Amino acid sequence: MIDQEEAVMEIIVNAGQSRSLCFEALQAARQGEIEQARELLQQADTFTRQAHKMQTRLIEQDAGEGRQPMTLIMVHAQDHLMTSMLARELSEEIIHLYQRQPRA
């Protein structure tokens, strides 16, 4: 059985790292470093996958039977993960716009 506190912290840490890398990617794209931006997004994907994998393990352990207590920190972890996933998707679109924009 997965220790819930450790699992939740793993989700928060990995999701936070992913989100940070997405914003670094946006900064790189703003400076015209599109390849670096794409590499940063790939790194972000690695952290998102780790967070999502832990989330999936918690869901499987719960099996829809309410075995996992819903705590404030669990909700916080889910919020971090969803925010990082949204940041990733929006970053991809914004980087695409920067790529299409002619350099001044």
Q: Please check whether residue 59 is in contact with residue 53, taking contact to mean a CB–CB distance below 8 angstroms.
A: no
Residue 17 tokens, joined: 């790292």
How long a stretch of residues is the chain? 104
Binding-site residues, in ranges, read 79
Binding-site residues for Mg(2+), in ranges, read 79
Catalytic residue numbers read 76
Q: Rounded to an integer, what distance in angstroms lies between the CA atom of residue 104 and that of residue 98?
A: 12
